[in-house]
Copies of this chain bind each other. A is one copy, B any other.
Amino acid sequence: MAELEEAASRVIRSGCYLHGPETKAFEKELAAQCGARFAIGVSNGLDALRLIIRGYMELGLLLKGDGVMVAGNTYIATLLPVTEFGLSPIIIDPDPDTMNFDWEQGLDVVRQLKEAGWKGRVKAVIVTHLYGTPSWNLEIARKFHEQDIFIFEDNAQAIGALAAEPGLHGTRMTGNLADAAAFSFYPTKNIGALGDAGAVVTDDRQLADTVRALANYGSTERYYNRYAGYNCRLDELQAAMLRIKLRHLDAETERRNAVADAYAAGIKNGLVTLPKKFADMRQVWHQYVIRVPEALRDPLRDYLAKAGIATDVHYPTPPVYQPCYEKYFDMPDDDPSLKFANSCISLPIANVTPEQAAEVARVINEFKG
């Protein structure tokens, strides 16, 4: 806290509140953390994804109507920019192991659409590393690239995570596995700003330049609007906060892993399915999401609440079922994303110790359904 207060005071006294040294330093430090060439601080994670998509559209590489694959199990922010810019969302089921984008199914859908003579073209995929578990398949990623399909990462929940295999640039770090990644620093994130903040990370200089301009009214220089842009700037105060938080990322990841390990070791209740821990990845456990049979989800939450244990659900309604998308999607009755949404519970992880997690596990074990 003292460190954050001191940094805030420093920025307040500096008189420079936007596009200053804190933002520049944070961008450099974040790029280094991901092993990427460019990082652009922006207003929030949704805007980061909006700017990536608008950026590739301005570069002529994405066109209205192009198909974009998105996992059905994600936060709505992954889907919003796809529909905002008139792209065609193609919903892919979650992989039962990661609950993220099913790469095999994605590849298959591309093939099927071609065979069915779909007049559009699948042009991008947005993979979400939901809950802090990397979603990556190098072999299929290469096949997507061979078919000119961009791969964007929604890295809102996975800063610091390592995929099992290297990405297209050699590093295993999420946020630099493919073409461009959106980061969110919402306050509850593993690295949280003291307000909204986000970033775009990419190795693509053209995209980086375009995103930077689009986030500043479309200006490539002062009062020269090359693009009809937005105002999506990261401010100096938040950049200063984030620089401090970034230095504590490894400690935060370790703490979350210790809590996750305590849950995994402690929960022994046949009704509960634990999230999979992958030996070959570094997961960062933004959420620790267990599953129970649908009929027991709310009873277990109520039971835990009575024991003073606050839980949450990420997310109660998959994006495609939100009222704003009514009549937009035609989903099957046995949609696995919907089933998952009805059976998942997020256990406390942000502010608990491994000892507290062990106690939560003990309480869960006494739940009979």
Contact = CB atoms under 8 A, between A and B. Distances in A.
Given A18-B195, A46-B231, A231-B47, A218 B324 contact: yes
Interface in A40-80: 43-47, 76-77, 80
Main secondary structure of the interface of A (DSSP, over half): mixed
A228 B315 CA distance: 17
Nearest to A226: B323
Given A13-B1, A43-B43, A217-B46, A80 B228 contact: yes
Interface string A211-253: 0000001100001111111110101111000000000000000
A369 interface: no
B11 A223 contact: no
Interface stretch (A2-10, A31-39, A110-118, A288-296): A2-10
A237 B83 contact: no
A84 interface: yes
A324 B231 CA distance: 15
A228 B83 contact: yes
Contacts of A237: 8, 194-195, 237-238
A303 interface: no
Given A18-B195, A43-B43, A195-B233, 10 more contacts: A8-B8, A8-B9, A18-B196, A43-B196, A44-B233, A83-B228, A194-B236, A196-B233, A224-B323, A226-B323
> Top 10 closest A-B pairs, CB basis?
A195-B235, A225-B322, A8-B8, A228-B324, A44-B231, A17-B187, A5-B9, A46-B231, A17-B194, A225-B324
